Structure 1
Amino acid sequence: MSPFGPRPPRAHASVDNLRTHLLDGARTAPHRPAVIQAAPGGGLETVTYGELAARTDRCADALDDLGLDVGDRVVIESDTSADAVATLLACATLGLPFVPVSPGLPDERLRAVIDGAGPALYLQAEDGRRTGIPEPVGTGRFGPHGPTLERAPAPRGPRRRRTVTPVDTAYIIFTSGTTGRPKGVTMSHRGVVSFLRGVQASGFLTPRDRVASTAPLQFDFALFDIGFALGHGAALVPVPRDRLSWPRRFLSFLRETGATQIDAVPSLWRPVLRHEPGMLAELGESGTVRGVLFSGEAFPPAELRHLQKLLPGADFINLYGPTEVMAISVTRLPNPLPAGAERLSIGTAVPGAEMTLIGPDGRIVDEPGRIGEIHVRSTSLFSGYWNDPQTTAAALVPDPLDRASGRLVLKTGDLASHGPDGDLYFHGRADSQVQIRGNRVELGEVEGRIAAFPGITGAVAAVLPHQDGEPRLHVFVTPAPGSPAPDPKEIAAFVRAALPAYMVPHHLHPVDAFPLTPNGKVDRAALSALVPS
């Protein structure tokens, strides 16, 4: 019996519901592993598709008792786990958009997310330590047996909805906004399922695969890993957060779980390549690792070649796409990467989607080498930014090639060019282009050139203010193990040999490792803070 009186009729899910799509394995192969994870007392725990479906249904039944309506938001704070996945899918079953956040999120940032999303309920894992969730948001914890309510949500009115449709919101991911306020990317069931079906058509996975996921749950690629694995009937392998900072512990966990596919941002591989190349080579020699996926930032070609040398039998998959589409291309790169390759292909869009380059004049860019802004046509487009129609209208724009149709496309803000093979090659963000002495500079081009210098494994460029009012180009670099400190004059000459003089850095800063954000990307703000003002 619901604490609010007789239970109203439960909403039922459409065939395109995220839960229906991802738990199809419970119908076809209930005894197959769905999640292989670290057990609380040590060792490993395997949760089958049948058990994951049972946990999802237990959680859905408990949430249904709260009288929440289709569209009511639920914040879920957790690392990736079988119980977290079951809770996400229970919310999807009932049409409750979930808002994933990670335990390491600062209190102030979480409060901003709660203020923006206006959730009815906040749930954290059983071992969660978060306190101070504001009323009238309900609170509770979840585990293998479903959620336990701690504080009931504010009383709801009668349910107005009975069907969860494909266009209803599946989840909202809050990303950094230019105003300093988190920006909520709203994704429908149709959008995410459409993308995952496109990935399935590419044939990268089999049900026998085990996908190691390293992204925090609040990052869209954690949701990609969940969908990628479960959508193929494969097993998800969440890597514990405390294993990621220690290369040996990270590689040991991959070996223990028999992970065959590893999804990790390029920054995560850097300390592995520096400190444990031998152990990684042993993993490659075992033949277990079939694929390495990466996304979120550029992979320096020198580091990628090093990784490929240690994993010669693996496929290397470059994922491209903003949060507004989860991803849009899944591209297999050659292993080894050709010696002259300085940029990595992002290929073409997954089946059922299209990427078009548009120039500043609004016309299509199709000749090789010329840069344009990527515009995306796809049923996997996000619905909009939560409660922000103005920003939504700037991103979802009339199709510049067919304005009369009323069709909207995503104006990504990402720059790319066509290669002679027809593939697209990423050139960074339009807003990462900066002005130096009146000249437009793409920071990624500077980073790529310096990263190609012998003895340099990575480079991050930034334009920082100077006391004379003229901005300066700074570059932070990570030297290869055993290499001498880079000579700024030699690097300047190396850059000047290929790029204009205004793209030569004013200052070079060697660092042992690049600091990372909670999402695993290079923390540019932390690097900039290393430079005295």
Structure 2
Amino acid sequence: MRVGTAGAAATLRAMSRENFARTHASVETLHEFLLAGARLTPDKPAVIHVVGGEVGSLSYRQLAQRVDGYAAALDQLGLDIGDRVILESDTSPTAIAVFLACSSLGLTFIPVSPETPAQRLALIAESTAAALHLQPVDGRREAVPAPLGTARFGPDGIQVERAPAPRTRHRRELVPTDPAYMIFTSGTTGRPKGVVMSHRGVLAFFRGMLRHGIVSAEDRVATTSPLQFDFSLLDIGLALGSGAAVVPVPRSLLRWPRRFVQFLADSGATQVNGVPSIWRGVLRHEFAGLAALGEQIRGVLYSGENFPLPEMRELHRALPHARVVNCFGSSESIAASFTDVPNPLPAEVDRISIGHAHPGAEMLLIDEDGRPVDTPGVVGQIHLRSAALFHGYWNDPEATAAALVPDPLNPASGQVVFRTGDLAYRGEGGELYFIGRVDSLVKVRGNRVELGEVERRVRDFPGIAGAAALMLPQEGKDPVLAVFVVLDEGVTGVEEMELGAFCLEALPDYMVPQQVRVLDELPVNANGKVDRRLLAARAGQPTRS
């Protein structure tokens, strides 16, 4: 019996997936997992890059060779397993090779953005006692504070500018429970908070994610997230873990819909991942160009924020054959669920489900009294049970203990679950629907922002006595980050541009308030805390100017 072309292709995809799954089952570290393609499909593209319209690639074999070269250079610096290395870069073939080289040596890499303010970078370096700062050969960071070692990386290798302080090596072997990386998110104390993820944790997540079969070895996965956002690590794991190619999209293109769509066409991207807002300008201004890629783009995965339903319907109209996946979760477990979005969306749908936890994990709903919530429609807080949980927050045992709590269903077992702070309810089929947060953590353009960190910086501005930040909804537009301030006695106003520039000295641009409102006093609740609900209710009322 003759097998058709489509059937033969499906068989090959299944065989490739099985080969990678068998190889992945035998490895225990991040670099081994993501470089499995160097053994199974060494000549296939691992990373696609486009420069000046010219498409280039790095094969799995070439990627592994670059990783080995970087690792050899880093090993000469005498760093020990567990030492921290700051990796300041956008996502690129060389940056991917660098963090895999760090992984192979047991070095915990800390990705940060090239736009990170100097004050914030210094705080991260100091709080983690980092040993080395790495940036590309064309990186713009200068005056990196000593005693932090500095080096630059590129296609020709690693150039050490200032050697790290001498260290004594105590460790001999990397183990799966060692930290693989640390992601810094906004913290409740006004200081950035380091989420520590082990090799075992990230591999448990990757294995669960890959069981969804989102991409195959023939795909090209366009990643639009910055390297310091763990969504980018998800994209890299999804692509390289499947034997596919990852396609880093230059961040500058996302502001220009036509250039973004042209890049997708030039690179041959078949899967596009990112926060929902990357599609807004495209759907409004470059719909025809996106629709022309309807046969090329087979999948879209989004995370970080809700996808507005009118825009989701427009995306379905532009890409009617694409599989759209809603990825839900947080840095503490990379993600928790992957749920296919119905296409077309039924007219009566008013909220997209986050489904069920990925294989190997479970999402529980717990009420305020610590009891499980099983009744459909009743809201509870999501508690995640998973082998993919983070170790804890760097040097913050109090915050760690508040997040990793005894299993509420079996507290005597010693098992911990992650109390996420996310509120949800169950549908009739047991699927979950996310409705919001229990605390002051919000998301701006897919980035986690702790309002307390914004408030702390604003309060440091001369003339401001008190501040409270919150997200304000806008009809037909994205919510806006606003700050309500109380002025010092005798101060009559605040210059918004000066306050914005002051915030930019220490905060990323997405954490800078877009609106400033002056009040006589901040409303408080019975516990003496700022009443954000009352602030939101007052948002439409006149305020002092």
TM-score of Structure 1 vs Structure 2, range by shorter chain: 0.7 to 0.9
What SS does the aligned partner of 1:122 have? strand
Shift of 1:404: 0.5
Percent of residue pairs identical: 56
Shift of 1:276: 1.1
Structure 1 unaligned runs (5+)? 1-13, 435-442, 468-516
1:139 to 1:464, Cα distance in 2 relative to 1, 3 A: closer
5 Å-filtered alignment, 1:17-416, equals: 17-39=29-51, 43-157=54-168, 159-284=169-294, 287-416=295-424
1:387 to 1:250, Cα distance in 2 relative to 1, 3 A: same
Alignment deviations for residues 287-318 of structure 1 (CA, whole Å, 9 cap, x no partner): 11011111101111111111111111101110
> Which residue is equivalent to 1:511?
none
Write the distance in 2 (CA, Å) between the matches of 1:74 and 1:338: 48
1:433 to 1:170, Cα distance in 2 relative to 1, 3 A: closer
Shift of 1:526: 3.2
Write the distance in 1 (CA, Å) between the matches of 2:186 and 2:323: 32
Write the distance in 1 (CA, Å) between the matches of 2:222 and 2:69: 26
Write the distance in 2 (CA, Å) between the matches of 1:268 and 1:218: 17
What SS does the aligned partner of 2:99 have? helix
- Residue pair 2:47, 2:57 contacting (<8 A) in 1 also: yes
Amino acid at match of 2:62: E
Amino acid at match of 1:111: A
Shift of 1:522: 10
Write the distance in 2 (CA, Å) between the matches of 1:372 and 1:384: 23
> Which residue is equivalent to 1:489?
none
Amino acid at match of 1:345: S
1:461 to 1:156, Cα distance in 2 relative to 1, 3 A: closer
> Which residue is equivalent to 1:527?
514
- Residue pair 1:59, 1:145 contacting (<8 A) in 2 also: no
Write the distance in 1 (CA, Å) between the matches of 2:267 and 2:277: 22
What SS does the aligned partner of 1:74 have? strand
- Residue pair 2:484, 2:516 contacting (<8 A) in 1 also: no
- Residue pair 2:373, 2:379 contacting (<8 A) in 1 also: yes
Shift of 1:42: 5.3
Write the distance in 2 (CA, Å) between the matches of 1:259 and 1:122: 32
- Residue pair 2:480, 2:515 contacting (<8 A) in 1 also: no
CA RMSD, Structure 1 to Structure 2 (Å) = 2.3
Amino acid at match of 2:284: R
Write the distance in 2 (CA, Å) between the matches of 1:525 and 1:121: 29
Alignment deviations for residues 484-523 of structure 1 (CA, whole Å, 9 cap, x no partner): xxxxxxxxxxxxxxxxxxxxxxxxxxxxxxxxx9xxx994
- Residue pair 1:225, 1:263 contacting (<8 A) in 2 also: yes
Shift of 1:228: 0.9
Shift of 1:527: 3.1
Write the distance in 1 (CA, Å) between the matches of 2:478 and 2:48: 35
Shift of 1:113: 1.3
- Residue pair 1:58, 1:145 contacting (<8 A) in 2 also: no
Amino acid at match of 2:374: D
Amino acid at match of 2:172: R
> Which residue is equivalent to 2:451?
none
1:395 to 1:220, Cα distance in 2 relative to 1, 3 A: same
Write the distance in 1 (CA, Å) between the matches of 2:485 and 2:36: 58
- Residue pair 1:305, 1:336 contacting (<8 A) in 2 also: yes
Shift of 1:146: 2.4
Shift of 1:15: 2.8
- Residue pair 2:485, 2:516 contacting (<8 A) in 1 also: no
Alignment deviations for residues 174-222 of structure 1 (CA, whole Å, 9 cap, x no partner): 1111222110000000000110000111111100011000011110101
Alignment deviations for residues 143-174 of structure 1 (CA, whole Å, 9 cap, x no partner): 123211111000112x1111111100000011
Write the distance in 1 (CA, Å) between the matches of 2:484 and 2:93: 47
1:154 to 1:43, Cα distance in 2 relative to 1, 3 A: same
What SS does the aligned partner of 1:346 have? coil
1:243 to 1:404, Cα distance in 2 relative to 1, 3 A: same
> Which residue is equivalent to 1:487?
none
Alignment deviations for residues 362-409 of structure 1 (CA, whole Å, 9 cap, x no partner): 110111111100000111000000011111111000011110001010
TM-score by length of 1: 0.81
Alignment deviations for residues 56-81 of structure 1 (CA, whole Å, 9 cap, x no partner): 00011111111110000010111101
Shift of 1:53: 0.3
Write the distance in 1 (CA, Å) between the matches of 2:440 and 2:85: 34
Write the distance in 2 (CA, Å) between the matches of 1:530 and 1:223: 38
- Residue pair 1:267, 1:522 contacting (<8 A) in 2 also: no
- Residue pair 2:482, 2:513 contacting (<8 A) in 1 also: no
Write the distance in 2 (CA, Å) between the matches of 1:461 and 1:245: 18
- Residue pair 2:483, 2:513 contacting (<8 A) in 1 also: no
What SS does the aligned partner of 1:60 have? helix
Amino acid at match of 1:248: R
Write the distance in 1 (CA, Å) between the matches of 2:163 and 2:315: 50
Write the distance in 2 (CA, Å) between the matches of 1:278 and 1:189: 43
